Structure 1
Amino acid sequence: MAGMNGEAPPAPTGNRAAPDRVGPVLFAQGGDADRDRLRALLVLPAGERPPKLVTDEGEIAPVTLAEEFGRTVHAYDFSLPSGTGGTYEIADAGHPVVSPATPDMRVAYVSCNGQEEGDLDRPIEERDAVWQRLADENLQNPFALLLQGGDQLYADDVLLCHPEVERWASMKKTERGAVPLTPEITEALRRFYFERYLITYARPAFASLAARVPSIMMWDDHDIIDGWGSHPAEMLDSPVGAEIFAAAREMFLIFQLAVRPGETPATGFDPTGTSLGTAIRYPGLSIISPDLRSERRLEQVMGPAGWRMLETAFAQTPKGDRILLMSSVPALGPRLSWVEFAADVIPGSNEYEDDLRDQWQSRTHRTEWKRLLSLLANWGESGRGELTVLSGEIHLATRGEMRLKGGGVMHQLVASGISHPAPSPGYPRMLGLLAKFGESPLKGRKIRIRPLPGYATTYAGERNFLVLHRHGIAWKAAWELEHTGRTEPVSI
């Protein structure tokens, strides 16, 4: 409902008001043998003069990415020496940054930064306990990159941002086209996403990391709303549904890809902006992040633009590069066809349909899943370089292996979630039971889900993050679990 002056009311933000100042937040832009390219975001009250950013190359003035809701989002483009890193200064504070091109280098991977309901109502010390552990570790042994693999926001509260959006969400999915879109709804949606990013980025543990460790981010469903894309077209393409996606996409571009809305990221591959996937490269390392949400529908994970992006990114990867592929939902997982069959026939279980459809292993996506696995296997068997899949989404930690022809192994490492509460014990037990049956859709390439080193069950039901360590050309991975602590490393 509009206010007395005709403006949309502020979106609800739980018990935390959106701050006027956020940042700096660093974003990785790739690098070469000479320099690592970076972009820093800084949010200030509208009209306040932004400071200069200072590096070894001199003073850097910002450009404006957005001016919204009484704030201005500034962006600074700069570089630091490749192979050694350096320090940048802004607002009288210096921030050291490690180069991803150093021989001894560490990368952190996180996902699922929130919960579906009441995310802002939790005490921050509890909510961000694992984030704080990661931030403290960075101060002792710095990371070169922070990979964020999906659900950086839990934005499901957007459905409470306006009475008409609440009414839309309460209707049957196939009938939601009956709710008309108004300017007040549009503004309420845009304000919600904008301010939720400010709240998320201002949290102390994240802010400490984000100022020192460049991020690479790719969204998943909760950055929009739960299950986005795995719902009927009547819901997705309704006037309000389409505007939810448009508002989420606009703010994703600003706050996760660090570009102006309407611009194509320099690290992207689709000039039309249909797919927002990226590939960010450093000497010997390529981080490829396909967009699994922009074109998702009940019958597909990616459309033509998404597949073109992914296949082009692989084709252009230099020989010898280690590829880290961020697949927001696991590329290797247990057989789900039996579960989907049960959901079809058991009364009341259809509420889980969108969760099952979200997975590559859904029977609906089997052809696409085989296409993805073929792309990965062909790379792994080509001798062009090593490949590791990084995934999240399932609120558990685990790992997977796909045996390749010729005796090689492709590893998948799953870390989820950094702040989402651990699920009930029955959930990892059920997935572990399904994993025992295996699922190997490509002939001669068996897939197996494996427990973490020293862990009693296939899936670890604790909050967690992943640490990748490159020493020379050797890579290892270990998980930090909230209660169990650090696992033994796995060679990948």
Structure 2
Amino acid sequence: MTTRIIPGAVGSTSLRALVLSDESTPPALKLVDVRGAPCPPLTLKPHGSGDSRFDQHVLGAGVRLYVATASKLRPGADYQIGATHIRTLPARLPAAGLNLALASCYSNDFKRDADYLRVLQGAVGYAPLAAKLLVGDNVYLDVGPSVGSERSAFESTADLYLQHYWRSGYADVLSYLPTFTMWDDHEFWNNFPEHQIWLPRSMGRWHSIYRDAALAGIKAFQSVLNPAPVARQGLSYRFELPGLSVFALDLRAGRSMHDANPPVLCSEPELLAFERWAAALKGPGALIVGQPMWMGPGDWQDWNPPAFVAQYTRIWRALAAAPFDMVILTGDVHHSRLLEISVGPGRRVWELVSSPVCHIPTIEAIAARAFDHQGSGKIGFPLAISVPGVPLELLGFHMGTEVPNTLALLRLATSPEGLAVAGAFVDLVRKTPAQPAPPPNGCKVAAAATRSCQRDPMFVLRRRP
């Protein structure tokens, strides 16, 4: 009998985890304090996506899902569920800081799981890590041998998630460290929910079927790891790290078609919750989204947040009006970068993109169904963006890389000026800071920029004037 535990959202006094088991009855799990202190009970409840069309295939594969939760825990303490170690967050930011991993865009075709795990375990420093933030395209439902198979949408989607969370070496990566997740289009299909003529799943009657299957996969395996949603309509959520308040705004699962009237990125209750959170911050804030906010609107092949003008404007206005500086944590674009943006005198928004942790195959390889050639990205972004009512100015590019196997390691630490964020873009294969790449031609390079992809600090989040 096999049981796998995927740690999810962790706080200073609580934890949760997704439990997968091939036993016919609930596994006999208990929470153990590593130091032997008395331990609150562990609650274990059956879990599913809520869509029987999906859940039947998980059960048919001989796997049962559960959610494990515990509360009234000690801050900064070490616990175990079975053989899985989980440490609660400290109540305050330690003098040595708090370390995090930030990653997006993982293709399992190239089996980078051993490299990934070694980096998380401390091969490049920044150990121990408190959690990992997986901010989109964590699975590729529309890229790989299963595309176009004769299996149903629900069976093929469930099978891919089980490969990631149950059968492959990547499941060991997911089992290591607490995880917060966000998703983007490839959890559905490229440019979801738009029609893509080269993707039959996005057309005709298949559109709603594959949409429902993809959403079921997210609910069964990804969103279950996160804290409770901030609104009944949607999967956006918020959580607290020592020294940093975080809002994860889902701009994909609830996105409308671009030609809708009006087009939306998310539900109104989710956006209102984000605006209230930003306005009420008592310290620095971080916004997690699946796509960068500093980018062009795209087109019918790949619409981006700026193409949804009304809600995009509201997001930027909330970022600009917040009482503290903000950082946007995101991925998607197949290169990594750090930008410094002014939203008014003495008011900063930083955008940190980490992508891809393992690049998808090249377009040529996909067409030939030969999934053995990694693609590569190139740093690119607009030099100016206009948002009504927000004095946006790109102050400079600080660092970036085009390495196709990259994640960011971050350290949060207190400083006399605010919250200092140090870190590096790490080459997953070489286990070193990634080879730096230049910004687009004509882009202003920040005075503090370095030719390295590692810096301490990268930036400081301050109280605004």
Place the TM-score, normalised by the shorter chain, in its bin.
Answer: 0.7 to 0.9
Aligned to 1:306: 267
Does the 8 Å contact 1:398/1:450 carry over to 2?
no
What residue number does 2:154 align with? Answer: 190
The equivalent position to 1:478 in structure 2, one of 405, 416, 423, is 423
Indicate whether 1:319 and 2:281 are aligned. yes
C-alpha distance in 2 between matches for 1:74 and 1:331: 35
After superposition, give the CA deviation of every residue in 1:384-442 in whole Å (9 maximum; x if it has no partner): x332101100010012222122322110100001111598999526x2xx54x422334
1:127 deviates by 6.2
Cα distance in 1 for partners of 2:153, 2:318 equals 38
Once the two structures are superposed, the pairs formed by residues 18-417 of structure 1 within 5 Å of their partners are: 21=2, 23-28=4-9, 31=11, 35-56=12-33, 57-66=39-48, 68-69=59-60, 70-79=62-71, 81-90=73-82, 93=83, 95-99=85-89, 101-103=91-93, 104-114=97-107, 119-120=108-109, 122=110, 124=111, 126=112, 129-137=115-123, 141-157=127-143, 160=146, 188-202=152-166, 206-231=170-195, 238-258=204-224, 267-271=228-232, 273=233, 275-282=234-241, 284-296=243-255, 297-299=257-259, 303=264, 306-316=267-277, 318-333=280-295, 335=296, 353-355=300-302, 357=303, 359-361=304-306, 364-379=307-322, 383=323, 385-417=324-356
Please list the CA deviations of residues 326-361 of structure 1 after superposition, one character each: whole Å capped at 9, or x if unmatched: 11110012x457xx5xxxxxxxxxxxx322x1x224
Query: Which secondary structure state, in structure 1, belongs to the residue aligned with residue 183 of structure 2?
Result: coil
Counterparts of 2:332 and 2:403, CA distance in 1: 13
Q: 1:468 is matched with which residue: 410, 413, 426?
A: 410
**Letter matched to residue 246 of structure 1:** D
Asked if 1 retains the 8 angstrom alpha-carbon contact of 2:339 and 2:350, the reply is yes
1:127–1:419 Cα change, 3 Å: farther
SS of residue paired to 2:402 = coil
Does the CA contact (< 8 Å) of 1:135 and 1:208 recur in 2?
no
- Residue 445 (structure 1) aligned to one of 371, 386, 391: 391
Q: Structure 1, residues 131-177: CA drift from partner, whole Å, max 9, x if none?
A: 5323344997122221110011011158946666xxxxxxxxxxxxx
Residues 407, 51 of structure 1: alpha-carbon distance in 2 compared, 3 angstrom cutoff = same
TM-score (norm 1): 0.71
Distance 1:480 1:415, change over 3 A: same
**Taking structure 1 as reference, are residues 80 and 128 closer, same or farther at Cα in structure 2, changes over 3 Å only?**
farther
SS across alignment from 2:129: coil
Report the Cα distance in structure 1 between the residues aligned to 2:404 and 2:357, rounded to whole angstroms: 9
How many residues are aligned here?
400
- Alignment check: 8 A CA contact 2:251 2:266 kept: no
| Residue identity matched to 1:463 | N
Structure 1 residues 212 and 427 mapped into 2: Cα distance closer, same or farther (>3 Å)?
A: closer
Q: Is the 8 A contact 1:97 1:212 kept in 2?
A: no
Identity across the alignment (%): 18
Contact kept in structure 2, 1:400 and 1:411, CA below 8 Å? yes
For 2:20, give the aligned amino acid. V
C-alpha contact (below 8 Å) 2:344/2:392 kept by paired residues = no
Q: Answer yes or no: is 1:491 the counterpart of 2:454.
A: no
Q: Give the letter aligned to residue 313 of structure 1.
A: F
2:391 alignment partner, SS class? coil
Mapped partners of 2:326, 2:273: distance in 1: 16
Give, in angstroms, the shift of residue 89 of structure 1.
3.2
Q: 1:369, CA displacement in angstroms?
A: 2.5
Aligned-residue offset at 1:488: 1.7
Q: CA deviation at 1:281?
A: 3.1
Indicate conservation of the 8 Å contact 2:236/2:248, yes or no: yes
Deviation of 1:113 after TM superposition, in Å, equals 0.8
Residues 21/238 of structure 1: CA separation in 2 closer, same or farther (3 Å cut):
farther
Deviations 1:52-99 (A, max 9, x none): 122342442521113622210122111374532321231xx2514151
Alpha-carbon RMSD: 3.5
**Residues 13 and 74 of structure 2 are in contact (CA less than 8 Å); yes or no, is this contact kept in structure 1?**
yes
d(CA) in 2 for partners of 1:161 and 1:444?
43
Give the aligned residue type for 1:216.
F
Instruction: Give the TM-score of the pair, scaled to structure 2.
Output: 0.75
Match for 1:38: what amino acid?
A: L
Q: How many angstroms apart in 1 are the aligned matches of 2:68 and 2:421?
A: 33
Contact persistence 1:418–1:464 (CA under 8 A): yes
Distance between the aligned counterparts of 2:102 and 2:78, measured in 1?
Answer: 22
CA 1:396/1:79 → structure 2, altered by over 3 Å: closer, same or farther? same
1:64 maps to a residue whose letter is P
Letter of the 1:112 counterpart? C
Q: Which has more helix, going by share of residues? A: 1
Q: Distance in 2 between matches of 1:444 and 1:157?
A: 38
Which structure 1 residue ranges, 5 or more long, are not aligned?
Answer: 1-19, 165-184, 260-264, 341-352
Partners of 2:245 and 2:283 within 8 A in 1? yes
| CA distance in structure 1 between the partners assigned to 2:336 and 2:271 by the alignment | 25
Paired residue secondary structure (2:455): coil
